[in-house]
Amino acid sequence: MARINSNISSQIARSNLAKSNVDLNMRLQRLSTGLRINKGSDDPAGLIISNRLGSEISGLQQAVKNSERAGSVIATAEGSLSEVSDLLLSVKGLLVEAANTGALSDDERRANQLQIDSAIESITRISNSASFGGLKLLNGSLDYILSGLATSAVSKAQINSANFGSQKNIQVNVQTISSAQTGRLFIRGDYTGGLGAGVFQSSVTLEIAGSRGVQTMTVLSGRSLSEVVQSVNSFRETTGVSASLINGNPNSGMIMSSIDYGSNKFVSVKRIGEPLTGGFFRAYAMSDTGRLPANIDIAAMLTAGDPVVANRDAGRDVFAVVNGVLGFGQGTKISLPNASQLTLDLTLNTDFAIRDGSSTSFYITGGGALYQLGGEINSSQQVFMSLQSTAASRVGGTVVNGQLQFLSSIRSGGNNDLNSKNFVGASDIVATAIDEIAVMRGRLGALEKNTLQTNAKSLQSAIENLSASQSVIRDADFAAETAALSRAQILSNAGTSVLQLANQQSQNVLSLLRQ
């Protein structure tokens, strides 16, 4: 070649040398950063998926921290509840001791009352002071806020969890589909024997049993049903059975019924020493409707087979539909434990619970505690729950003498203090409070063990798998990159040498000029 204006060999050598240098620089960058993808041009699709995986990993890492922090909050609350539980157990013991009036002086009973007052004050103090990083745990600030709750229908409402989603409030609709009932036995009073109606025609010994215990009583011939009612009611707290006259008239008969409602409550009346159908005495099980008309026609009712001869009858639990979901009944209480959007416990007013088709509604307007346990902010990756107040004025809600009363009523001057000697009512309140605290601890323990701990383990496994996937896409393979670096170095050196030789070829033209 004798042309010097265009050195094609030099251009080819220079182009290849540039490519080798680009490859060499890329290998050096990857080895220095440890990343295969350092800019979009390295791998556009890989960069997109790598960033998405990085976003998921970041969210999951924070979710693990959230689970651990939530576990710390729950452990703190559970520790405070443990102290409340111990105080309630001590109050229970003091009540049982004070009930031993035949062996306890007034001074000792007053000393017990002082201890009870101190324990109740401590329970309220714990409620107000339990906190985590400034977040109050047991003063009711993490409980749900209710609006429009009719106490004539719902005596007590505890919302355990509520998923608001995009709603500002949740309407709760409650409708009974099966009423609560007591166990009831009917004893006739219309016999017209020689002793007349409304009285026992012969002497009988009856065994009266209920869910609380058993008593026997002997009814003498000629004794009025009114007197029998008084006798049965005198030990109603012992047996759990009460008695009443139908329409207030002994000639219409009497009803013996369990004090409480529910399938685990019953009434049993047996004639000792004689069969149920022997003699004049009969006990009949009431129908489920259970309401006798004001002017009862006993003969017609018995002819129709309603009620039927029996010596035992059990009550029935209320069943209700809550927002379209069937709730589980226990006496007059309704629980919705497993619904995904709403879980609650309701104590229905007796008049409301014993009527089929009763309905009411109220609103949940806010409150509750939300725990973000997933990497994405949506309700499916969140847990909702409440922590109700454990103050003495909020726990132990029990109907005593027809009124809903709480633990605070056991303090000095309260309706159920030791001076009132209403030991049964006070004991029921404390028992309810102990159960409520135990249920709270159980719910918190279940959340910590079955949700938070398993969630953290699951998320950690996901983080490991996603990190491995991201590493395959984004990180540099040092073995492959060092091999490629050696190749790029050789090609760069060879290209430099070749470019030098290509440039020297133009010098050969000078030899023509020397001739």
Query: Which tops the pLDDT comparison, 478 or 172?
Result: 172
Q: Other CB atoms closer than 10 Å to residue 313's CB: what's the count?
A: 27
Q: Quick check: is 160 in a domain?
A: no
Over pLDDT 70: what percentage of the chain? 90
- For residue 376, the model assigns a pLDDT of 85
Q: Rg of the chain's alpha carbons, rounded to an integer? A: 41
CB-based contact 450:91 (threshold 8 Å): no
Higher pLDDT, 194 or 458: 458
Same-domain status, 109 and 203: no
pLDDT at 190: 75
- Among 297, 314, 331, give the residue marking a domain's end: 314
The count of C-alpha atoms lying within 13 angstroms of the C-alpha of 453, restricted to the half-sphere facing its C-beta, is 9
pLDDT of 414 strictly over 90: no
- Res 7 pLDDT > 90: no
What distance in Å separates the CA atoms of residue 71 and residue 459, rounded to the nearest whole number? 15
Asked if 67 contacts 462 with a C-beta cutoff of 8 angstroms, the reply is no
Q: Are 296 and 236 in contact (CB under 8 A)?
A: no
Using pLDDT thresholds of 50, 70 and 90, give the confidence band for residue 193: low
Residue 462: CATH number of its domain = 1.20.1330.10
H/E element, 110 = helix 106-129
**Is residue 326 one of the residues assigned to a domain?**
no
Q: What are phi and psi of 180, to 5 degrees?
A: -75, 145
- What is the pLDDT, as a whole number, of residue 111? 92
Q: Is the pLDDT of residue 2 over 50?
A: yes
Q: What is the pLDDT of residue 346?
A: 92
Residue 403 pLDDT: 81
In-domain check, residue 167: no
User: What average pLDDT does the segment 489-505 reach?
Assistant: 78
Is position 328 within any domain?
no
Instruction: Judge if 21 and 63 occupy the same domain.
Output: no
* pLDDT of the residue at 399: 79
Q: For residue 124, what pLDDT is reported?
A: 93
Q: Is 102 inside any structural domain?
A: yes
Contact at 8 Å (CB) between 369 and 388? no
In a domain, 385, yes or no: no
Helices (H) and strands (E) in the chain, counts: 11, 23
237-278: per-residue pLDDT in tens?
889 999 998 878 888 788 889 998 999 999 998 888 765 555
Alpha carbons within 13 A on the beta-carbon side of 495: 20
Tell me: do 301 and 192 sit in the same domain. yes
| 170 three-state secondary structure | strand
Same domain membership, residue 433 and residue 490: no
**295: confidence class by pLDDT, cuts 50, 70, 90:** very low
- Check pLDDT > 80 for residue 510: no
| DSSP secondary structure code for residue 83 in this structure | H
User: Residue 172 and residue 166: Cα distance in Å, rounded?
Assistant: 16
Same domain for 128 and 233, yes or no, is no
Give tens-digit pLDDT for 160-185. 999 888 888 999 999 999 889 888 88
Phi and psi, residue 345, nearest 5°: -130, 125
Is the distance from CB of 180 to CB of 172 less than 8 angstroms? no
66 part of a folded domain: yes
Please indicate, yes or no, whether residues 485 and 441 belong to a single structural domain of this protein.
Answer: no
Q: Which of 5, 9, 7 is nearest to 498 (CA)?
A: 9
Half-sphere exposure of 197 (CA within 13 A, CB side): 12
Residues 201 and 264 in one domain: yes
State mean pLDDT over 37-58.
Answer: 84
- Judged against a pLDDT cut of 90, whether residue 76 lies above it is answered with yes
Percentage above 90 pLDDT, the chain? 30
Of 314, 341, 360, which residue sits at a domain end? 314
Mean pLDDT for all residues in the chain: 84
Domain coverage including residue 414: 35-139+390-395+405-475
The answer to which of 25-39, 102-116, 461-475 has the lowest mean pLDDT is 25-39
Domain end, chosen from 314, 340, 369, is at 314
Pair of tokens at residue 6? 């265009």
> Would you call 275 exposed, middle or buried from its count of C-beta atoms within 10 A (0-12, 13-18, 19+)?
exposed
Question: Looking at the 3D structure of the chain, how many domains does it have?
Answer: 3
For residues 23 and 98, state if they share a domain: no
Q: What span, in angstroms and rounded, lies between the C-alpha atoms of 34 and 51? A: 16
104 and 196 share a domain?
no
Q: For 310, what's the count of Cα atoms within 13 Å in the CB-facing half-sphere?
A: 20
- Residue 290 and residue 194 share a domain: yes
| Statement to judge: residues 120 and 30 lie in one domain | no
pLDDT value at 293 more than 50:
no
121 and 193 part of one domain: no
**pLDDT for the residue 291:** 46
Residue 14: CA count within 13 A, CB half-sphere: 7
Give kind and range of the element (H or E) at residue 393.
Answer: none
Is 192 a member of any domain?
A: yes
Q: What is the 3-state secondary structure (H, E, C) of 24-58?
A: HHHHHHHHHHCECCCCHHHCHHHHHHHHHHHHHHH
Q: Report whether 390 contacts 121 (CB < 8 A).
A: no
What's the half-sphere exposure (Cβ side, CA atoms, 13 Å) at 202?
A: 8
- The residue that leads in pLDDT, 389 or 515, is 389
Q: Residue 250's pLDDT is what? A: 84
